[in-house]
Amino acid sequence: MISVAAFIIMLSFTACKSGTAEAPGTFCDTVCLTDTIKFAGDHEKKPTVFITAKNCMPDSIIWSYKGMAADRKTGFTYLLGTTVNINKDYIRCFFKDNEHAWLLFNDCATGRGFQIKLPYDKNANFSLKSSGINSLDPKFSIAENLVVNTDRGNIYVEDMSTGKKAMMTFGQPLPIDYDVLHDHIDSVNVTNDRIWVKILIDKNWVEKEKKIVLE
CB-CB contact of 136 with 19 (8 Å): yes
Alpha-carbon gap, residue 137 to 161, rounded angstroms: 22
* pLDDT one-digit tens code per residue, 87-130: 999 999 999 999 999 999 999 999 999 999 999 999 999 899 99
Average pLDDT, the chain: 90
Residue 32 DSSP code: P
* pLDDT one-digit tens code per residue, 133-185: 999 999 999 999 999 999 999 999 999 999 999 999 999 999 999 999 999 99
* 137 three-state secondary structure: coil
pTM of the complete model: 0.86
Residue 12's pLDDT band, with cuts at 50, 70 and 90, is very low
Q: How many helices (H) and strands (E) does the chain have?
A: 2, 15
* pLDDT one-digit tens code per residue, 44-92: 999 999 999 999 999 999 999 999 999 999 999 999 999 999 999 999 9
Neighbouring-strand partners of residue 106:
113
How, if at all, do strands 57-64 and 140-142 pair? unpaired
Question: CB neighbours (10 Å) of residue 183?
Answer: 12
30-39: average pLDDT: 93
Rounded to 10 degrees, the C-alpha dihedral 179/185/186/190 comes to -110
pLDDT at position 25 is: 65
